[in-house]
Structure 1
Amino acid sequence: MSRLISDKYNEWEELCRQRFDKLKANEEQLNRYYIDLYNMGSEITPEVDDSDVTVRLADLQREIRSLISYAVGCVFGRYSLDHEGLCFAGGKWDSSLYSTIIPCSDNIMTLNSPDSGLTKAVTDFVEKVYGSDTLAENLRFIADALGGSSEPATVIHNYLRKDFFADHFKVYKKRPIYWQFTSGRKSGFTAIMYFHRYTPELLSMLENDHAVPYSEELKAQLRSAAAAHKSSTGAEKSAYRRDISRLQSQITEMEGFIARLHLLAEENIILDPDDGIKVNYEKLKEILV
């Protein structure tokens, strides 16, 4: 059995085409029947435009983005590779449903590096499902489908960081279940949580276990860049100057984000699913995309 996503997509594309062609042919046959029945041959034709057929053809970019969304769902425990259908959308958590991929324990996945956090979890998902021997080829296929030419992990990371939430927001009709935290426009820090696993303690964990350590990491990078800047010359010195400016902006942004996050964490905010996504989203909007 093939372990290549490209082969799986080709199979799905052919299945969708067969289904599409069959439905289109059936609709045109019905049209002919009614045209003959009501003697309307001189007024209309039986042909059906492709855009009017009620099932969709396969679309590579859409299918790959859906695959990534499913992978994210497995990372947070909404889905499981070990059980079909929805595994958790509130209620009692059942850890026995997960063995192939264990959901993240604190319901927080950062997006600060292609080598860690949610990006690493998604690439691990691809390896678990399709195997390590085809991992490089599968990640390249995913990256190409997303329209990127850089290293696959970087392309996937950029999609998750910049476009995933927008796609998710649209698919879920402005009622997202994956919420993206952001420190602001300088993109100093970003992370995702699953709404149905939220607890009032999550914001404190986000602050102490993720945001503050990341801020300290940025400060260490700034010290290193400043030291290198002193001993460099020419173009290299200019590059370090740009790094210093970027890091200073991100650190300032992080300080504001941590301050807002800390105030919200002290409130022990409760999110009630019965109130709906929009009402709950408003409670944390200061730190969300």
Structure 2
Amino acid sequence: MATLIRDKYEAHKAEVNARFDQLKANEEELNRIFAEIYNMVGEVPIEVEDKYVSVARVFDTADEIPESFKGNNYVRTMRDEIVSLISYAVGCMFGRYSLDVVGLVLANQGDTVNEYLAKMPDPAHVSFMPVADNVLPITDDAYFENDICTLFERFLVAAYGAETLEENLRFVADALSPAAKGTPRETVRAYFQKEFFADHCKTYKKRPIYWLLDAGKKGSFRALFYMHRYQPDFFAHLRTAYVHPQQERLRARLDDIAAAEDAANGRQKAALAKEEKRLLAQQTELRTFEEKVHALADQMIAIDLDDGVKVNYPKFGDVLAKIK
């Protein structure tokens, strides 16, 4: 049965806020009881300030948060809730979570899809399959079959139904960036390209479990992988299955521009020249990235999850995005 994320959000918000109100009322009732027991009515405060109530309270936007909540670390917004949903979706893409079972699924070093299927109640009918090779590309278009935005749409269909996909994408996009001028799909892709990793690092206190491969500021190639599923041959696979095809794609697009220039008018030529400059910069950036990936592939680096992110993350140099 098709479901709207908006309806789920409103129900969640009502439940969370009712819990907040109940806890606040309970704490104030306890204050009143103890004030009466110790004959201190009128001498000690009964009311509990909003900022001291230690459970979540959800507001649609940051602008709606009253001054009385300033300093409360449990306050959340609609965007926070949608970011959490996206994080869960990425977890399902990697197999850390599943729509079919509760709790963690793949969380042991070197886990694969085989271990995922072994934990499913019905391996022949899985609601949403994780990526087989532990790679989620985040490029400026859906170049790869397991493009992260494409998989996010598949997740929404699996979780909420195909009929509500467009409306759910619009709700997600509006929550992420209400003022965005592009389509919902463009907004979601921009979020994955520019903001997801920062939000993930914030959630995990600068110890991310999904690591971002980043070729550089020109955006020639980005991809996520899950540290628990990392294996020493990862970079060899990344190089041949992703980096090389992306290099070929850039060469093909530059060839197309060169072929189109002869028939273009003045304005078209200017646009083509601008695009050519952008692609050439990406090509140079990706060439350097490929050399670094090649070196890592040759090293076959192993990691030990017990050493944690702080020890393992620096092993891969600057092919990984900086943790800020």
Q: Which residue of 1 aligns with 2:52?
A: 52
Given candidates 166, 188, 193, the residue that maps to 1:156 is: 188
Q: Which residue of 2 aligns with 1:133?
A: 163
What is the CA RMSD across the aligned residues, in angstroms? 1.5
Q: Which residue of 2 aligns with 1:109?
A: 136
Task: Report the TM-score, using the length of structure 1 for normalisation.
Answer: 0.95
Q: CA deviation at 1:48?
A: 1.3
- Aligned residue type for 2:241: D
Q: Which residue of 1 aligns with 2:316?
A: 284
Residue 66, structure 1, aligned to residue 84, structure 2: yes
Moved more, 234-243 or 248-257: 234-243
Distance 1:45 1:209 in 2: 65
Distance 2:87 2:190 in 1: 14
Contact 1:207 1:261 in 2 (8 A): yes
Q: CA deviation at 1:139?
A: 0.7
Contact 1:2 1:8 in 2 (8 A): no
Give unpaired runs (5+ residues) of structure 1. Answer: none
Q: SS of the counterpart of 2:131?
A: coil
Question: Residues 233-270 of structure 1, C-alpha deviation per residue, up to 9 Å, x if partnerless?
Answer: 22221111110110000000000000011001100000
Question: Residues 27-53 of structure 1, C-alpha deviation per residue, up to 9 Å, x if partnerless?
Answer: 111122233334444444211121111
- Aligned residue type for 2:151: A
Q: Which residue of 1 aligns with 2:20?
A: 20
Distance 1:35 1:225 in 2: 79
Q: SS of the counterpart of 2:57?
A: coil
- Aligned residue type for 1:233: N
Distance 1:114 1:36 in 2: 66
- Aligned residue type for 1:95: L
Q: CA deviation at 1:275?
A: 1.1
Contact 1:114 1:154 in 2 (8 A): no
Aligned residues: 289
Q: CA deviation at 1:142?
A: 0.5
Distance 1:113 1:229 in 2: 23
Residue 80, structure 1, aligned to residue 98, structure 2: yes
Identity of aligned residues (%): 43
Q: CA deviation at 1:285?
A: 2.9
Q: CA deviation at 1:2?
A: 6.3
**How does 1:180-259 map onto structure 2 within 5 Å?**
180-259=212-291
- Aligned residue type for 2:306: D
Contact 1:108 1:192 in 2 (8 A): yes
Give unpaired runs (5+ residues) of structure 2. Answer: 59-76
Question: Residues 214-237 of structure 1, C-alpha deviation per residue, up to 9 Å, x if partnerless?
Answer: 011011111111222333222221
Contact 2:2 2:163 in 1 (8 A): no
Q: Which residue of 1 aligns with 2:148?
A: 118
Distance 1:256 1:111 in 2: 18
Task: Report the TM-score, using the length of structure 2 for normalisation.
Answer: 0.85
Contact 1:6 1:141 in 2 (8 A): yes
- Aligned residue type for 2:279: L
